[in-house]
Structure 1
Amino acid sequence: MASAALFDLLPDFGARSQRAGQPSLAAMAEPRPETSAPQADIGALIAEAVIDAEAALEARLAIAHQAALEAQRQANADEAKAFLETFGGDVGAVVTARIEIMEAKVSDLVGATIARIIGGLVSDDLQKRSLEALAGTIREAVGDSEAVRIAVRGPLSLFETLKASLGPRAANLDFVEAPGFDLTVAIDEAVFETRIAEWSAALSEALS
Structure 2
Amino acid sequence: MPRPPLVSFLIDFDAEERRLPQPAPRRAGPPPFVQPPTRDTEVMIAQALDKGRNEGWAAAEAAWEDKLRVEREQFQEQLAAARAEWARTEGEALAGTIHTAFDAMQSRLSAALARTLTPFLEQAQRQRSLAALADAVRTLAETTRHELIEISASDDLAAALGSHLGDLAASVRFVAGSGPDVRVVADDTVIETRLADWAAELATAVGQDAS
TM-score (ref. length: structure 2): 0.47
Structure number with higher relative contact order (C-alpha < 8 Å, ≥ 6 residues apart): 2
TM-score (ref. length: structure 1): 0.48
